[in-house]
Structure 1
Amino acid sequence: MNPLRKLAGETAIYGLSTIVGRLLNYVLVPFFTYVFGQPADLGLNTEFYAYISFLGVIFTYGMEAALFRFGTTEDDPARVYATAQRAVLVSTLALAVPVMVWAGPIAGALRHGGHPEYVVWSMLIVALDALTALPFARLRAAHRAWRFASLKLANIAVNLAINFFLIGWCKWHYEHAPESLWAQFYDPRIGIAYAFIANAVASGVTLLLLAPEFRGLGAGFDATLLKRMLRYALPLLVVGLAGMVNETLDRILLKYLLPEETALTAVGIYGACYKISIIMSLFIQAFRYAAEPFFYAHAASERAPETYAFVMKAFVVCCAGIYLGTLVNMAWIQYLVGPNYRAGLGVVPILLLANLCLGVYYNLSIWYKLTDRTGAGALITLFGAAVTLALNWLLIPRLGYLGSAWATLACYALMAAVSYRAGQRHYPVPYESGRLLVYVGAAILLASGAARIVLDAPVLELLARNLMLLPFIALVLWWERPAVARLLRARAA
């Protein structure tokens, strides 16, 4: 099969699970913002999921990428998997147990004294997800996309079901029929934290469903191999941690850099509106699931650089289209969050563009992975983390969560620029940079023009704004005439 067609097919499968899964999970955003009308309630959820993201990187410490790398270069892939999974199992227990034991003091340090259960539930989520990370990576490496997708969807289905049962059904009975059996399952002191319980149960169910993937642990443990894998993976741990700084530190800093009486409200508003920008990251995540194994598998091809350049161009065109399509439809997308959260909608265009830059960086980062210069990737991401920290520190006191959004965009744009320059020296790829910038610039200008269309009839206004998609599509079809013609000939054949 044509490798690009195979990549597109696997992206579609991963995209199905990612998009459907995220959309199902996304239902929780309007659900929470309407059920919990006060943004401070959602702020608690947003804050702890930022911590969970950080810890998730620490608990897997780059071993997924090491599994891809050594699984394709070693003679015995089963031994590679067994070595990596045993290491993660031991380290997960060594890290999770002490945190749970000291949950009380940790909760106090986070200004949630009296609620050590928040720490325990969060740590349980992190530990269970860490144990499933390598089995999921193994499925991707084996191109078992449907198995991967079905398990991800099962996880989300369980999570949603428990959330709707406890926070929806049982909460309603607690408020309207307190004598009913269902009301006894709801405790208002837990409130939004029921989301942690639902997530922990869903992660546990997923671990059980992945049990067949643990049969390979009998292939043996190789300490020498583990040392080599760690040398490759640990710089990626730095990359991952710095990446989490870039992705989630803003929500943590908002809590500590804004006045205490309004901080959690700001975190809740920003977190809810940040979710709208996830429309872009749905595509990026699906692409990454399929592209990482694809890039490694085709690294030896003579035409690999040209292939990577074409993939980048297709990726940017899709992301620019998503950016434009989202913004011309904000008239109805805004209702995905409750009325008390819509004050933060101004961050959405900025965060969409930031996610586009992040996706470009993911594409560019293949140069240091294929040349085993993961230390360079760590330095670039550390640079981005420094930009994030500095700009958030400067801008949050002045602009609030809008400052966080601008800091995120600046970070990802600078990381992409630095990675591009470094990559062209060590692993040249003929990216059509000028054309890519034109596509992104056109999307920004068209979105800006659409925002200025104001009509008395809301439906006509929405239709008029969506017409701004046509010039963008026309630009792409005209400029990519040869590629479109080849595609049509291939389909006709």
Structure 2
Amino acid sequence: MNPLRQLISQTAIYGLSSILGRFLNYLLVPLYTYTFSAGEYGVVSEFYAYAGFFAVVLVFGLETGFFRFRQKPEFAGDEVYSNGLSFLLLINLLFVGVISYWQQPLADALHYPNHPEYLLWFACILALDAVTALPFARLRAENRAWRFAGIRLTEILITIGLNLFFLWLCPKLSVAWPDSPTAIIYSQDMGVGYIFLSNLIASICKLLLLLPEFRAVPLQLNPNILGPMTRYSLPMVVIGFAGMVNEMLDRAILKLMLPYDLTTNLKMLGIYGACYKLSILMSLFVQAFRYAGEPFFFAHAGRADAKRAYALVMQYFVIAGVFIFLLVMLFIDFFKYFIGTEFRAGLDVVPILLLANLCLGIYVNLSVWYKLSDRTGLGAWVSLAGACLTVVLNILWIPRWGYLGSAWATLACYFFMVCLSWLLGRRYYPVTYPIGKIGAYIALGLALYWAHNVLITQQWNIWLSGTLGLMFYLCAVCWFDIRPLLNRH
């Protein structure tokens, strides 16, 4: 199969699981934002922000290390997988033990003294996600995308079903039928804890579905394999952790940095967290591309036309990303109904966050230079520079502009990382990206969004204006890219 078509095919399958699954999960946002207050939802946003940081650390970058070392002739693929999996099992068992021992002091420190169980549940969720990361990576490396997608979708469907059970069905039954079994097990005081409990049960089910991947090879810890593999992978932890700083720090520190009382700060965090969800389509696209792109980049690195393929991938990635930006922003009057009325005060952050995630996707494309040149340490410095910028800008801008400052800080960070990574890539692994065309499509998307806003202020029908803008963009893509491609064939 043509390598570009293979990447598109794999991205479509991973996208099916990620986009369809996350979209189904996204449908829970109305349930949350219509069930809980902004302050209560702020608790959810905060915990998942912390979870993002630990999720990176507990995987130790071994996904990328596995992809890299299974391609090396001196290592057997099964041995690389076995050692990585054994290491993750050991580390994550220790992590759960430590959190279990210190859960009450940690709950007190986070101002949740009445719910120490939240921390233990999250520790188990994080450990289960970490130890299943390598089996998922093995499925990706072996092009078993449908099994990957099936397990991911099953996990998400279980999560959705349990959320509906605990947050919608149980409250109704406890009122209509007080002696029912569901009414007996349901406690209104649990509140947002049911969101965490649903996630934990779904993670356990995911582990059970992946058991064949655990039994596929005997567990072992061979320092001759694990040593070089971890040395290559550990900079990826720095890169991933810095990435989480860029992605999650705002939601982790908004409660502390906003200049209001704790209750108001949690409310603002809840509004920001809910509006962040409206940029989910771009996030899902980037995630689906990352799943398919990483094994693609490594598998085709030795081909004579590899760099040309990488340039084309970047071009079409940006075309698709700008389309998603326009789809959401030109029809924001539809998407806004996915969050409760109280949360819509933060809609101004949505276009900023969409552009930020587009920049993140461009950076994912550009990161091929340090992964293929084995300069993950230098790549870590790029991520650290971006993380430092995120920290500084959040500290400066949150007290002044609130959560809007956080959104601008995220965009500024990812744009800075794109520029720095592109400059370093030109030196260590030069790829001739079509910078002019990429910039032109982004500029066109911003111009159409601006024109749409001007038209609706002049009493144009918002749906007509949005449809015309989207059609104009698609016509431009067909004329400048699809038509020449068809003519060559």
The answer to whether residue 261 in structure 2 is matched with residue 278 in structure 1 is no
For 2:430, what is the secondary structure of its paired residue?
coil
User: Offset of 1:281 from its aligned partner?
Assistant: 1.1
Higher mean alpha-carbon deviation, 105-114 vs 356-365, is at 105-114
Deviations 1:269-318 (A, max 9, x none): 10000001011111111111111100000001111111100000000000
For 1:218, what is the secondary structure of its paired residue?
coil
TM-score by length of 1: 0.96
Alignment of 1:215-230 (within 5 A): 215-218=215-218, 220-230=220-230
Structure 2 portions without partners, runs of 5+: none
Deviations 1:302-360 (A, max 9, x none): 11111100000000000011101111111111100000100011100000000000000
Separation (CA, whole Å) in 1 of partners of 2:184 and 2:458 = 49
Structure 2 match to 1:468: 469
Q: Which amino acid aligns with 1:348?
A: V
Separation (CA, whole Å) in 2 of partners of 1:219 and 1:384 = 37
Q: Which amino acid aligns with 1:161?
A: G
Alignment of 1:438-477 (within 5 A): 438-454=440-456, 460-477=461-478
Are the equivalent residues in 2 in contact too, given 1:388–1:407 (CA < 8 A)?
Answer: yes
Structure 1 match to 2:480: 479
Structure 1 match to 2:65: 66
For 1:372, what is the secondary structure of its paired residue?
coil
For 2:455, what is the secondary structure of its paired residue?
coil
Structure 1 match to 2:12: 12
User: Offset of 1:144 from its aligned partner?
Assistant: 0.2
Deviations 1:409-458 (A, max 9, x none): 00000000100000011111000112101100110110121123338999
What is the count of residue pairs matched by the alignment?
A: 486
Alignment of 1:163-174 (within 5 A): 163-174=163-174
User: Offset of 1:111 from its aligned partner?
Assistant: 1.4
Alignment of 1:9-48 (within 5 A): 9-36=9-36, 38-48=37-47
Structure 1 match to 2:378: 376
Separation (CA, whole Å) in 2 of partners of 1:120 and 1:486 = 59
Separation (CA, whole Å) in 1 of partners of 2:198 and 2:293 = 31
Separation (CA, whole Å) in 1 of partners of 2:422 and 2:349 = 27
Are the equivalent residues in 2 in contact too, given 1:235–1:375 (CA < 8 A)?
Answer: yes
Structure 1 match to 2:158: 158
Structure 1 match to 2:214: 214
Structure 1 match to 2:86: 86
Structure 1 match to 2:419: 417
The answer to whether residue 53 in structure 2 is matched with residue 54 in structure 1 is yes
The answer to whether residue 274 in structure 2 is matched with residue 262 in structure 1 is no
Separation (CA, whole Å) in 2 of partners of 1:481 and 1:162 = 44
Alignment of 1:91-170 (within 5 A): 91-170=91-170
Q: Which amino acid aligns with 2:381?
A: L
User: Offset of 1:73 from its aligned partner?
Assistant: 1.1
Separation (CA, whole Å) in 2 of partners of 1:292 and 1:486 = 30
Are the equivalent residues in 1 in contact too, given 2:61–2:236 (CA < 8 A)?
Answer: yes
Are the equivalent residues in 2 in contact too, given 1:11–1:286 (CA < 8 A)?
Answer: yes
Alignment of 1:244-323 (within 5 A): 244-258=244-258, 259=260, 260-323=262-325
User: Offset of 1:207 from its aligned partner?
Assistant: 0.2
For 2:302, what is the secondary structure of its paired residue?
coil
Separation (CA, whole Å) in 1 of partners of 2:447 and 2:194 = 43
Higher mean alpha-carbon deviation, 205-214 vs 255-264, is at 255-264
Structure 1 portions without partners, runs of 5+: none
Separation (CA, whole Å) in 2 of partners of 1:159 and 1:483 = 45
Are the equivalent residues in 2 in contact too, given 1:361–1:415 (CA < 8 A)?
Answer: yes
Q: 1:186 to 1:372 in 2, by over 3 A?
A: same
Separation (CA, whole Å) in 2 of partners of 1:392 and 1:85 = 37
* Structure 1 segments (4+ residues) deviating >6 Å: 455-458
Are the equivalent residues in 1 in contact too, given 2:330–2:452 (CA < 8 A)?
Answer: yes
Separation (CA, whole Å) in 2 of partners of 1:287 and 1:41 = 33
Separation (CA, whole Å) in 2 of partners of 1:257 and 1:108 = 19
Separation (CA, whole Å) in 1 of partners of 2:176 and 2:57 = 44
TM-score by length of 2: 0.97
Q: 1:231 to 1:264 in 2, by over 3 A?
A: same
Separation (CA, whole Å) in 2 of partners of 1:486 and 1:121 = 56
User: Offset of 1:177 from its aligned partner?
Assistant: 4.7
User: Offset of 1:228 from its aligned partner?
Assistant: 0.2
Structure 1 match to 2:353: 351
For 1:143, what is the secondary structure of its paired residue?
coil
- Superposed CA RMSD in Å reads 1.5
Are the equivalent residues in 1 in contact too, given 2:455–2:465 (CA < 8 A)?
Answer: yes
Separation (CA, whole Å) in 1 of partners of 2:423 and 2:222 = 38
User: Offset of 1:482 from its aligned partner?
Assistant: 6.0
Separation (CA, whole Å) in 1 of partners of 2:433 and 2:307 = 9
Separation (CA, whole Å) in 2 of partners of 1:73 and 1:482 = 40
Higher mean alpha-carbon deviation, 276-285 vs 350-359, is at 276-285
Deviations 1:68-97 (A, max 9, x none): 000111441001100100000001111221
Separation (CA, whole Å) in 1 of partners of 2:200 and 2:7 = 32
Separation (CA, whole Å) in 1 of partners of 2:294 and 2:365 = 9
For 1:302, what is the secondary structure of its paired residue?
coil
Separation (CA, whole Å) in 1 of partners of 2:105 and 2:82 = 36
Separation (CA, whole Å) in 2 of partners of 1:286 and 1:175 = 42
For 1:72, what is the secondary structure of its paired residue?
coil
Structure 1 match to 2:342: 340
Structure 2 match to 1:2: 2
User: Offset of 1:252 from its aligned partner?
Assistant: 1.1
